[in-house]
Every structure is written in structure tokens, then in C-alpha cells.
Structure 1
Amino acid sequence: MAEQNTEAKLKNQLKREKVQLWNPPYTAADGQPGQRHMQELAERYAPLLCLSAPEVGAALESIRAQAVKRGKGNKTFRETNVATVELLLPRDSKKDPKTKDHLETRLDVLVQEVVDRIGEEYGLKYIKLILNGKTLCADQRLDEQGVKNHSKMMVLKVSDAELKQQLSEEEEKKKNQNESIQRTQKGFQILSERDGSEDPDTTPFLEIADQRGNPLKIPHTEKKALILAMGFHEKGRSLMKKKQFDNALCHLLQADQQFSKCGSALLGSVDNYAVLQLDIVWCYRALEALSCLDDGKSRLQRAEDCFLQCYGEQQQRLLMIKGNTGREEVLFLRLYLLQSLLSYLEGNDAQARHQLSKVESLYSRLCLDSEKMAQLMTLGFTEREARLGLRACQGDLQEAAVHISNQRQEREELQQRERQKRSRRMEVISTLTELGFSRRDAATALHHADGDVDKAYALLYLGFEREVSEAALRLTGGDVQSATQLLLDNQGVLSPELLSMSPPSTSSSSSSPSSEEPSTSSSSAADNELVNEVLEDISRHEEDYLDLTLDEESELIATMKTYLDRGPTHTV
């Protein structure tokens, strides 16, 4: 980390002075360094960085060698179309921690070919390639997915190779990360199609709620994408807690892909998207892949913008909704800490110190008294409740106890209202089935009629084919009256031209079986088994994402202080 900081400062200085290390007198015709001129440069820059001349000399030579190699790579690419890409390998796969790993390849080859080469050269059996936060598809070419000469590609291990050797072939398949992602996607797609009208005791159901826990009304297509995004995010967070950062990152990037299908207005009203960006960069940090500077920087900026939009200036909107901002401050601590780290890696020590001072101020407020925690837990509160309660009440023990009790009561009242709401929906569906309609059609009609039994009955009474009715509802954005009129105008038959206007599926992979829309009343044993499997990764507490012990953050703060304390007090 210190080497990257030193090189960044030197590059800035060289750029200001327009010094080109790859040209004479710093590089000779044979590509070797011009020793005397490099030595003079090192001695001149050493006092500016408060480092010894040999240290600066070594950093300058590293920059010079990289520049010469890049120049050769450009020449090779122009003459042969063979590109040079930098590989950001897992830490335990690097042959030499101090050198960068490169791969020469044409860009018109399939990603799978490059995956096989990397696997063979570095002894990696199951890997994925990541470019700017996006997973490269194995069956597409490099250039089709944005890979260029000198691109940096992150190499992620799919799962532990030693563990795979011990597993049987069938178990290996089940544990495979791609299988995990597919099962997660299918499970949450089933959930995204359910409307809460089934028996709550036998059929799990997800509701998207605001910061108070009240259900949000969201367009159907966006709801599907949002549930998938939140499902992948929760699975990724679960893996992060187990320190399986490679696997976690794969799931988090899937969540990011699904969030991109949601409208900006929706993303601005919930903080999930901002938290996801933080989690992705936190995984980059854990995997020591902060060479992905540009992607990390843009993600942190998106997180900050989203928090501002969601919480308001000075967090007034959050204060109005929740009555306090103490619990959410852990998110800002992590944001500022990652910004400090990235500033340091860019060679901007002043900005790194500024952000770190904000981090330390927050940390002093959020670091909790263990005795107060113990007292609350003896009152019957969980460790999570105690931690969140004390942070919400700025460490006041009595206020925290009252706050936690009030939250428990509010949560119980909300759950009771939701149970009553689902019970009423089931009663209405039963009434419609008694009139001769199938339970499946009744549930679908009620869902599209927003719970209005008269509209649902009108839609069912018209007697149109269910598939045609659903197509008409898709074409009219779920508007029952417009859908009914459309069907009446076309005598209950929709032409292929009209049907072709239906909006595309929100599935991320239209060719996979999981992209087919399950019926809203589907409750088969296989579906429920899959749904229950993915629900295991969803925390039962809506503020689990705020329940950070700050142990990892504390370690990184100490590391940052160590690096900044030994550096100069100004930026070159």
C-alpha cells in the first residue's frame, strides 16, 4: 500500500514537470535505465517525499520499467494486434507479491480461452474475470465486453480448490458458485411473483417496505428486479460475514446488475443501492484489489450521492423518518474510511488525512461501552438490539432501553397489520372461488386489481382467457379498466402485433428456464424448498445491515494511521 502511495505521488510530480522516464536520458536505446540521470532525479525528489534517495530511486525505476513495458506493449499491439492486460490475481496465487502480472492475448478471442490459460499458468481451477466491476461472460469475446490493450482484469476464485478436491462430483456441482447464483436467482424470482394472497403458514412471501417498515407500492417489473437485487445483496452480505469475499463479490455484482433495471426515482428513495456500492468496494479492499481504483472511486461517489438523496442534506429526512441518525452513522464511517484509503493510494495524503479525521470522530461516538451493552442484554435484549439502541441514543442507557422496547412494539403491530391484510386477501380469494373461479385466476385478478374485489370480479366475470387477460394487463401497465377495454375492442383476441408490444422480461438471462414467470399462486414443494433455501440468507431484522461491530474498521483505521504517520504532511 505504501509503495502504491509513493508511486502515485511521483507520477503526479513527473507529470507536472513533463518528465518522460521512458525516453532518453532516463532510458537508453537498449531499454536500460540511464543510471546517472535516474540517481539525480531520486536525490531531487527524496526531500519532497520525506523518504531516502534509495527508496525513491526504487520507486522511480518501477515506474520507468512499467512505462517501457507499456510502450513495448503499444508497439506490439499496433503491429500484431496482441494486447497486454494486467491481471489482479488472488493474493495466494501471485508468484511475486512485488511485481505485476501481465498476460498477452488477442482481443478477438473468447473469454473462456483466457480463463483456461490463466488457470493453467497459475494453478487456478475455478475462476471468473472481472472488468470494472462487471463479470465477463465466458462465451463472448474480450473486445465485445470492453477489454482493451492495458486493461486491468481482476481474477476471482470461484471457490476453494482444496475443498473441491474433497467433494464428490455431485456435491461439487451443488457447491459451485454458478449453481449458487442460479439457485438464488430462481428462488427470488419465485418470490417476486408472489402477491401475498397464499397461506402465510405454508407459502413464504416477500414485501418491499420503506424505512418505517410500511409496504411500498412499486411497478411490477421494477418490483421483480428489486427483489432479485435485494436477494443477491443479502446472499452476498451473508458470505461477507463468513469472510468468503470472492464468492460474496460475485453475488454483489449480480445485485448491482439487477439494481440497474430499477428507475432512478426508486433507487433514490431507498438506501439499499448505496449500501451495495459500499459492500462491493469493501470486498475489493478485503481481496486487496484496490488497483480497481476508478471503479472503486465511482462506486463510492454513487453511494455518497444516493445517501444524500435518500437521507437529505445533513440527514434531515432520515431524522424526520426515524427520529435519530445514530445507527446509519456506521455507513458514513465506512464510506469515509474507504475514501481515505483510495485517496492514500492515489498519493493524496492531505485528503486521506481529512477523511480519516472524520472517521475517527465517528468511531469515537460509535464505539460502545461494553458494560452498557452487558446491562441491556441482562434485560433480555439481544446483542444487536443493544448495539443499535445505544447508537441510536448516543450511548444513553435508559433511553436505549425505552427505544428498543418501543421498536419491538412497533414491529409487532406492523406484523399484526400485515397478517390481517393477508388474511383479508385470502378471504376475498375464497369468496371469488365460491363464485366458480379457480383459486389461481382469483389470486391473479386480485393482484392486478390492487386488492379491489369488485375490479377483480369484473375482470374474471368478462370471461376472457387468463393468458390473454394477463397479456392485456402487461400492455396497459396493470390498469384493469384499460385492459378490459382493450380486450373488448379486440373481441377478446390480441393480434401478434399487439402481443409483440409486451415489455421484455426483467430476467437477467432470457434464455434460461428461470426467466419464465411462475404463476402467482405457485406453491409446489420444489419451489418452496428453493425459496426457503434463499430465505435463510435474509436477516429477520430489517436493520441487520447497520449492525456493524466495527472490528474490521478499527483494524483498517490503525493501518491507515500507521501509513499516514510515517509519510510527509503535504502532498507533492
Structure 2
Amino acid sequence: MAESFNEHMESLIRDKLNHEKIKLWLPPYTTELGEKGEIPKEMVERFSTDLGLCEDVILTVCEHLRCHALEKLAARKKFQQSGIASLKIKLSGKLPDEMTKCQKLLSLEVGLQQHGQVLKNEISKHSGLDPHRLKIISGGRVIEDDQSLLEQNVKHGSQVMAICLSETETEARLQQQQMDKFNQTKQAAELLAGTTQSSDGDDYYLQIADQSGKSLNLPKEERQALTLAMTLHEKGRAALKKKEYAEALLLLLEADKQFSKCRADILNAVDNYAIVCLDIVWCYLCLKNIRELPNAESRLRSCEECFHRSYGQNLERLTMVKGGTGVELALFVRLHLLQAILAFHQNRMNDSRNLLEKAELELGKLHIDSDKMTELMTMGFTQHEARLGLRACQNNVTRAVAHITQKKQEKREIREKEKEERKQNKLAKRFGKTAAGQMIDMTKYDQLVSMGFPKGACSEALKQSNNNLDLALQVLEEHPEYLSLPDPPVEKIAIPDEMIAQVVSMGFDPQVARTALERFGLNVTSALDELIKYGGVLPENLHSPSTRRPHSGSSSQKTAEQIQREKEAMERISDDIPDEEDDYLDLTLEEEKEFLAEYKALVESSTTLSSTYKDGVDLQGTFKKLGWGGSAGNL
């Protein structure tokens, strides 16, 4: 808390200097030789009166800011002449216990044409940390080792965060395993992002849904980008829940990079991007680096705009879409708390106080009676269901039971509808497209079949009429030859070589074995029975549609190896992908309570800061905490 006091004092005086356009690096404050000059007594007295700080503190902070300004000017001049940039490095993560606060702050010089690995080596050289355990973050993105700093938007004067991922050799091995796991997760997500769902729903496939839980039908490229982003986000959220903040931040920033590839109107259909922005800022806060996040304000602004767009300015749209606002309020608690903390560090005390009060009020509305939660769980509801149900119904158990039951029924109906749609798509893909290039309307197809027309005739009539039912009936009337068309064909299946070998080993021809396996949906027993029955020659009209199993809705058939790779990829990430769509709303809010209490105390203390320092309390100790050295007597 003392550190925040010091930051607050420095911020007050810096803002005052900027407002009055006072340049401490120029005379009379600095001599022509760059040495300490004179600060007018009238200015010190005025600052003391206006800011409520004692004159010794004003002098100390001004000298600190003057020296800092000269350092920046010298660094800028050097950069202009030589291209050597100065960077401010903040070390974070698993650092040695003996490392002091000053040792965690570095000023390094490096050419921006150098690769990220060079910067990492420089940080290692000055900090003594293993470069293999460092991850560098600047401007809200992870710096890649094999690209130049300039290409990655690192600039002169940039604030850089260096996360140390482990401390001991054992931890280093564990961390390497975690990084391997991260890379595997990314590769698995990329694989699944490129996987199209099969018509029978058997592929390993990640579903994208809107706020009501309904699946979104997106073009392939956009679905791939969004799927990869959302998968990495879920993995990052899982790490956040385990309080593995360094790993979480890497995953979240990677998700952010993928989200940036999506069109704005797609991101507007889901609130995932807003939440990933919220999670990134939260992660920085938990890593004690909220001041070092250069785009915290813009991220929180984007998050707030998205929430207002998705839920309404006063959550009115949320009430209309979902019938309530209780559980989503948890997101606003975190948003307003982060905005309040950011406002505090920007010396906007009134804004910080108001936002803290708003977050506290929202927290109060989300308070859960522990006895009632236990009561719901004894009824067989999960902790997740109980917590969200009670929040949505303001701790009313009866209403919560009805709410949970209704939500489960709605989800079940959506799943059944999606299952039926997949079934219809499966059939439509067998029939081909209409003259206008559309899929056949299966509802109208079923209508025609129910009238007694053959399936082949129905599909052909709808193709000719572009799904117009009346025109299709006219086509059938004018073209009676369509009535003799065969049923639409079923797609062929990719047959594993070992299955063919198994049938061939019984003495049958390889091509006949393949045909039999295709007709009987890879059922080796049925294929052998029919081959034996017909003496190794299958009749042309023999088929078994009930057992035939088209594997993929895509134009290319998948091999057994591809299917296995997708299965392994899904297994790698499935543990951290929640079954419930609203899992992101299930926040315990315990950490939020702790940060709220801490910053309420800091804001309250800032209001009494003036009287504390006017009374001259412990100036010597204050100077030491500031880390500037010296004392009031030798300023």
C-alpha cells in the first residue's frame, strides 16, 4: 500500500507540472551543464498548497522527475543518432526471493532491428535469469524470438514485461512441459479449427454459438479463426482458474491475436472478444502489472462497448434475450473493478471512488446465501447450476429451481433441434444442389415424399424448381419419366486397408471386398455374410441403407490417421473446454472482493494524504520507500 501512496504523490506532482507546462530539464531547474538548478520557492509553496503535500516532498519528487526527464532526453538523442532504443523492463513471474524491487526494473538499450531472442539474452545478462525461462511481452503481444523487434511494434521507450516462468531446475523442466503443452494445445486447436463437422455429427468438432446458445453458421475461414481463438481463450481461462497467471497470459494473448483476424460483425455476434480483453487485464492485475499494460484502458473500453452492445446500456437487451440479468452482472463487477483500479493509478480519484462503489453495489446483488446453495446442491443440482441459479433469482430457492430447470430444458431443445438439422443436412448433401446452387429444402422434400412420389423424383423436381414446392409439383406432372429415377446415392466411405485385408484373407477379390464394405457401412461381419451368401458376387440392387454410414460432409474423405489425429487433439483440449456455455459467468468473486477492499482503502487513504504529509509524518521513511535515497535535510 505504501508503494501506491508513493505512486499517487508522484502522479499528482507530474500532472501539476504538465498542467503548468513546467519543464524541469530546462533552466532555472537544470543548469546548462545538466546539473541541478533552482526551484523557485514560490512554486514549491504553491504546489504544497494546491496538492496538500509538504514542501520537502515536493522538492524530492521534482528532483526525481528532473533526473528522469534528463535520462529520457539523453536516450532519445542517442536513438536518433544511432538507432539504439532504450526500453524499460519490468520483471515478473517466479523471481528469486532475494531479488529487490529495484532489481526487478531494468533499463536496457538494444537496436530495434535485432530479433526478440537478442532482447531476451540482454535481459538475462542483466538479471541473471535463464533466457529459456523468459517470455517477453510488449504492447499486449508476446514477442517472438525469430522476428525483429521493429516488426513486432517495439518502439523506443516501450514498456516491456519479462515473465520468468520458473525458478529451479525441477520447475524449469515442469515449465518446459507446460510450454510443450501450450504448443500442443495451439496445434490441436489449429487442427480442430480446420475440421468441418460431418453430416452425422461424428467428427471432432467445436461448436460456436451466440448468446442464446444457438449455433452460428459461419464461412469456413471465419469459423476456423474464431474456433482457434475461442479454444485458446478457454485454455487461458482454465489456467486463470488455477491461478497460473503466467501461462494464462500467454494463452490469452495468443487468443487475442487470433480474434484480431476476425471481422468485427462476427465478433459482435458473440461476447467472447470482450471477455478475453477483460481476462487479459485481470491477468495483468494478478501479476501486479496493471500499470505496465499499455493498452489496459483501450481493452476495458472495448469490453464495455461490447457489453453495452450485447446486453444494452442498462442490461435491457440481456433481459429481453435471456430473461434476466443476475449472472451476467458478475462480468460488470470485474469490469468496473478494473476500471476503478486503472483510474486510481491514473490519479482519477473521484472516478476510482465512483467505480468502486458501483462494483461494491453489484457485488452485494450477487451475494449468495451459503445455506441456500447447500440446499440446492442436496437436490442434485451442481455447484455451477446452484450458484448461477441463485444469482439469477436473488437467492430465492423456489425460483432458482424453476430457473435452472427451464434453462436445462431450453438447452435440451436447442440440442435436439441442432441434431435434427444435422440429420437433414446429411440427407441434403446426398442429393446435390439446386439449379441456383442451394441445398435442397428437406422440409419440402419430406412433403413431396409424403405425397407418394419416389425419392429420386422428389430431389430432382426440387433441384429443377429451386426449392419451389408448387413448381416442383408442376415439374413432376410434366416429366413422368422422373418417377423412375433411382434414389439419391450415398457418399462413399474411406475404408481402412486392414478391413479390406481382413475380407480378402477369406478368399474374396479386393475390389469386391471394398464394394461390400462400402455397402455395409464398414461392418465386416455383414459384408462377409453377404459375400458368402452370393458366392463372392454382389447383386447390383443390393444395398443396406440402414447400416450405411457416410463419414464426412466434406468433398474429401478422411483417412483413419486423420480421424485419430483429430481425436487426440480433442482429448488434449477437452478437459478445459466446459460443457456449459455459461461457464464464463460462474465467477466465485472472492478475488474481486479482496481487490475491492484493498483499493477502497487506498482511495480512502489518498484523501487523508495531504494532512498526513502536512503534519510531517515519517518523511525519512517515506523517502526510503520511494527508493530515491537521501533525506529531507540534504535536498
Measured against the shorter chain, the TM-score band is: 0.7 to 0.9
- In structure 1, what is the equivalent of residue 107 of structure 2? 102
SS at match of 2:160: strand
Measured against aligned partners, the alpha-carbon deviations of 1:273-332 in whole angstroms (never above 9, x if no partner) come to 111110011111111222335400010111111112222232222111100011111111
Task: Report the CA distance between 1:450 and its aligned residue.
Answer: 5.7
Residue 293 of structure 1 contacts residue 342 of structure 1 at CA under 8 Å; is this kept in 2?
A: no
Q: Which one of the candidate residues 550, 558, 566 is aligned to 2:605?
A: 566
Q: Which one of the candidate residues 112, 121, 124 is aligned to 2:117?
A: 112
CA distance in 1, matches of 2:254, 2:215: 24
SS at match of 2:269: coil
What amino acid is aligned across from residue 151 of structure 2 in structure 1?
A: E
Change (3 A) 1:570 1:520: farther
Which has the higher mean CA deviation after the structures are superposed, 50-59 or 81-90?
A: 50-59
Residue 190 of structure 1 contacts residue 531 of structure 1 at CA under 8 Å; is this kept in 2?
A: no
CA distance in 2, matches of 1:162, 1:10: 42
Whether 1:415 and 2:418 are equivalent positions in the alignment is no
1:256-295 aligned at under 5 Å gives the runs 256-295=256-295
CA distance in 1, matches of 2:26, 2:93: 33
Measured against aligned partners, the alpha-carbon deviations of 1:155-209 in whole angstroms (never above 9, x if no partner) come to 123x324265663xxx775x252x3343223322333333432665x64322211
SS at match of 1:145: coil
CA distance in 2, matches of 1:357, 1:272: 26
Task: Report the CA distance between 1:137 and its aligned residue.
Answer: 2.4
Residue 9 of structure 1 contacts residue 348 of structure 1 at CA under 8 Å; is this kept in 2?
A: no
Change (3 A) 1:386 1:47: farther
- In structure 1, what is the equivalent of residue 446 of structure 2? none
CA distance in 2, matches of 1:320, 1:163: 55
- In structure 1, what is the equivalent of residue 333 of structure 2? 333
Change (3 A) 1:39 1:164: farther
Residue 249 of structure 1 contacts residue 280 of structure 1 at CA under 8 Å; is this kept in 2?
A: yes
Measured against aligned partners, the alpha-carbon deviations of 1:399-454 in whole angstroms (never above 9, x if no partner) come to 1121012112222333333344445555677x78xxxxxxxxx9x99xx9668685
Which runs of 5 or more structure 1 residues have no equivalent in the other structure?
433-441, 463-516
Residue 8 of structure 2 contacts residue 347 of structure 2 at CA under 8 Å; is this kept in 1?
A: yes
Whether 1:155 and 2:157 are equivalent positions in the alignment is no
Residue 91 of structure 2 contacts residue 163 of structure 2 at CA under 8 Å; is this kept in 1?
A: yes
1:485-564 aligned at under 5 Å gives the runs 521=558, 523-564=562-603
CA distance in 1, matches of 2:285, 2:216: 34
Residue 278 of structure 2 contacts residue 303 of structure 2 at CA under 8 Å; is this kept in 1?
A: yes
SS at match of 1:216: coil
Task: Report the CA distance between 1:529 and its aligned residue.
Answer: 1.0
SS at match of 1:404: helix
CA distance in 2, matches of 1:120, 1:105: 13
SS at match of 2:147: coil
Residue 343 of structure 1 contacts residue 349 of structure 1 at CA under 8 Å; is this kept in 2?
A: yes
CA distance in 2, matches of 1:156, 1:263: 31
1:80-479 aligned at under 5 Å gives the runs 80-90=82-92, 93=95, 95-98=99-102, 100-122=105-127, 123-124=129-130, 125-157=132-164, 159-162=165-168, 164=170, 167=173, 175-177=177-179, 179-197=180-198, 203-423=203-423
Residue 330 of structure 1 contacts residue 548 of structure 1 at CA under 8 Å; is this kept in 2?
A: yes
Change (3 A) 1:64 1:405: same
SS at match of 1:37: coil
Task: Report the CA distance between 1:260 and its aligned residue.
Answer: 1.4
Measured against aligned partners, the alpha-carbon deviations of 1:351-380 in whole angstroms (never above 9, x if no partner) come to 111111111111111122222212222222
Task: Report the CA distance between 1:266 and its aligned residue.
Answer: 1.4
Residue 39 of structure 1 contacts residue 57 of structure 1 at CA under 8 Å; is this kept in 2?
A: no
CA distance in 1, matches of 2:175, 2:8: 41
Residue 110 of structure 1 contacts residue 138 of structure 1 at CA under 8 Å; is this kept in 2?
A: yes
Measured against aligned partners, the alpha-carbon deviations of 1:190-246 in whole angstroms (never above 9, x if no partner) come to 33333432665x643222112222111222211111111100100110111111111
Task: Report the CA distance between 1:48 and its aligned residue.
Answer: 3.5
Change (3 A) 1:352 1:535: same
Task: Report the CA distance between 1:382 and its aligned residue.
Answer: 1.4
Task: Report the CA distance between 1:518 and its aligned residue.
Answer: 12
Q: Which one of the candidate residues 4, 9, 15 is aligned to 1:6?
A: 9
CA distance in 1, matches of 2:172, 2:354: 49
Which has the higher mean CA deviation after the structures are superposed, 103-112 or 553-562?
A: 103-112
Measured against aligned partners, the alpha-carbon deviations of 1:10-46 in whole angstroms (never above 9, x if no partner) come to 1110011121122233334554434x62887555434
What amino acid is aligned across from residue 346 of structure 1 in structure 2?
A: Q
CA distance in 2, matches of 1:450, 1:73: 65
Residue 225 of structure 2 contacts residue 258 of structure 2 at CA under 8 Å; is this kept in 1?
A: yes
CA distance in 2, matches of 1:241, 1:81: 43
Change (3 A) 1:80 1:206: closer
Task: Report the CA distance between 1:348 and its aligned residue.
Answer: 1.1
Whether 1:16 and 2:19 are equivalent positions in the alignment is yes
Residue 390 of structure 2 contacts residue 396 of structure 2 at CA under 8 Å; is this kept in 1?
A: yes
Change (3 A) 1:77 1:10: same
Larger radius of gyration: 2
Residue 193 of structure 1 contacts residue 520 of structure 1 at CA under 8 Å; is this kept in 2?
A: no
Measured against aligned partners, the alpha-carbon deviations of 1:102-148 in whole angstroms (never above 9, x if no partner) come to 10112222221111121232213322222211222222222232222
Task: Report the CA distance between 1:540 and its aligned residue.
Answer: 1.0
What amino acid is aligned across from residue 394 of structure 2 in structure 1?
A: Q
- In structure 2, what is the equivalent of residue 491 of structure 1? none
Change (3 A) 1:321 1:89: same
Residue 194 of structure 1 contacts residue 521 of structure 1 at CA under 8 Å; is this kept in 2?
A: no
Q: Structure 2 length as normaliser, TM-score? A: 0.71
- In structure 2, what is the equivalent of residue 438 of structure 1? none
What amino acid is aligned across from residue 262 of structure 1 in structure 2?
A: C
Change (3 A) 1:314 1:148: same
- In structure 2, what is the equivalent of residue 489 of structure 1? none
How many residues align? The count is 497
Residue 193 of structure 1 contacts residue 519 of structure 1 at CA under 8 Å; is this kept in 2?
A: no
Task: Report the CA distance between 1:66 and its aligned residue.
Answer: 1.4
Change (3 A) 1:401 1:33: farther
SS at match of 1:154: strand
SS at match of 2:39: helix
What amino acid is aligned across from residue 102 of structure 1 in structure 2?
A: S
CA distance in 1, matches of 2:428, 2:217: 20
Which runs of 5 or more structure 2 residues have no equivalent in the other structure?
443-458, 465-487, 490-553, 611-635
CA distance in 2, matches of 1:290, 1:299: 12
Residue 349 of structure 1 contacts residue 570 of structure 1 at CA under 8 Å; is this kept in 2?
A: no
What amino acid is aligned across from residue 111 of structure 1 in structure 2?
A: G
CA distance in 2, matches of 1:239, 1:154: 19
Residue 194 of structure 1 contacts residue 520 of structure 1 at CA under 8 Å; is this kept in 2?
A: no
- In structure 2, what is the equivalent of residue 513 of structure 1? none
